[in-house]
Amino acid sequence: MPLQRIKHFAKSDVFKSFTVLFSGTLAAQAIGYAIAPILTRLYSTAEMGEMLYYMRLVSFIASMATLRYEAALPLPKREDHSFLLFRFIYFLSFWMLVFTASVLVLLTWMFNLIHFEPWFLGCVIAGTASMIIINVGTSWAVRTGSYGLISRQKIINSLVSNALKWGFFFLAWSSFGLILATMLGFVLSAAEFVWDYRKTHRHYRSIFSRKKTRAILRQHRKFPLLNLPHVLLDNGRDMLLATLILGSFDASVFGAYGHAYQMLRIPLMLIGISIGQLFYNRSSEAMHQGKPLLPILTKTVFTLSLISMVPFTVLFFFGTEIFALVFGERWAVSGSYAETMSFWLMINFVLSPITALPLLLNRQKEALMVGFVSAVLQIVPFWLFPQWYGHSKETFMLCLQVVSYAQALWLIFVLYLYYRYTLAADRKIAS
């Protein structure tokens, strides 16, 4: 009987979709992590820190530009209604990006409030535009089941950006080369989504309707009203954390911390995102069909818990030694940060793929409060402790320890909340 279930699951669309997503994600991440030991020996922790700051800034602006409407793309029952929303998101994002670029130019050159070099500002705008296309295109691909497209763009992004980072080192371009390579990876990754949009637009050109578009926007108005603040809170928290660390300590500390954070997110990037996209798609389909969500949630959490135990346990005990061996001696401190964060990010790995659940259950207000508490728990120690205890690396480690264990406990409680919300929703369906 178990063997028959396995065979049946292996032939299912869910398994095939997961295989396509996972294989593309695995290939993309394998490229990045294979070249990481080379890049860490070529670039300093400070140079890596500047690149990571650029990536956080681009992510923050991109999340703002779409007002989070892209998360609603899988929800409309009719394909043409979903396309009307798809088209509007790109129109909205263009003008939001124009406005953001104008504000950044004014703040940089007229008011002198921020100090961005012209090349950095150009990379921010180009990278943000590309990331918007990638984010929106990915949501549309999930809607249409085009998982191969998602996998290909991930591979292109990883291959191009990492190859250029290696090549630009020999031109002695330092952090400029790292940022430029990252931006070009985004641009080329977005190209296929642009081509896919053109084909889709030709197919649905005749159904354009402003009246229907306005009706669809009203139907999904909770995304900009409730989900957008949540996403801005998360990305704004990351930006503020980066700014606090750079201001209270230095770029090398932020680079070591950021590298440890990236490495601990390997399981999430390899598996969690693909499972999260499938979880969202399957859950939205179950809601349309009046089926319970709790079995999907339970299976997802159980699977992710099993996957996470071994890698995070190994890093908890041997992070310093592993980082020094793999990335070079100067990255041993990054390994000590990884040891401290391992329990927190293990819980985060289990929780992240199901964070779309509040959108489906109309629990955006609760999700916003969850994000607010999480942001406070992370920001307050990095804001207050340097004022109380100084700006040494020991103070940074103290901040990281307090944040990591507070976050782990909080995320366990959040997981319990999501279980309760899902149980309540299933009871409504059954009644």
User: If you average pLDDT over residues 238-258, what whole number do you get?
Assistant: 93
Cβ-based neighbours of 119, under 8 Å, separated by 6 or more: 176, 180
Amino acid at site 103: V
Quote the CA–CA distance of 146 and 144 in Å, as a whole number.
6
State the pLDDT at residue 1.
47
Interval 5-35: pLDDT, tens: 555 545 555 556 656 666 777 788 788 888 9
So what's the pLDDT on residue 284?
Answer: 83
Would you tell me the crossing angle of helices 147-169 and 118-144 to the nearest 10 degrees? 160
- Domain coordinates in residue numbering, the chain: 29-219, 221-431
Tokens encoding 174: 């330092």
Across 261-265, 291-295, 327-331, which has the greatest mean pLDDT? 327-331
Question: Looking at residues 414-427, what average pLDDT do you find?
Answer: 90
With 0-12 CB in 10 A as exposed, 13-18 as middle and 19+ as buried, what is 243? Answer: middle
Provide the percentage of residues in the chain whose pLDDT is more than 70.
93
Closest CA to 400 of 291, 267, 244, 280: 244
**Average pLDDT rounded to a whole number, residues 366-377:** 89
CA torsion through residues 131, 139, 153, 22, sign = positive
Report which secondary-structure segment, H or E, holds 23: helix 13-42
Say how far apart CA 264 and CA 344 lie, in whole Å.
10
Mean pLDDT comparison of 20-34, 73-87, 122-136, 252-266, highest-scoring range: 122-136
Q: How far apart are CA 311 and CA 33, in angstroms?
A: 15
What pLDDT was estimated at residue 21? 62
Mean pLDDT across the chain: 87
pLDDT at 114 over 90: no
Say whether pLDDT at 287 is over 50. Answer: yes
Q: How far is Cα of residue 169 from the mean position of the Cα atoms in its chain?
A: 27
DSSP assignment of 68-93, as one string?
A: TGGGGTT--SSHHHHHHHHHHHHHHH
Provide φ and ψ at 362, rounded to 5°. Answer: 55, 45
Radius of gyration of the chain (CA): 22
Look at residue 375 and tell me whether its pLDDT is greater than 70: yes
Is 381 in contact with 404 (CB distance < 8 Å)?
Answer: no
Q: What is the pLDDT of residue 145?
A: 81
Six token digits for residue 268 = 């999430």
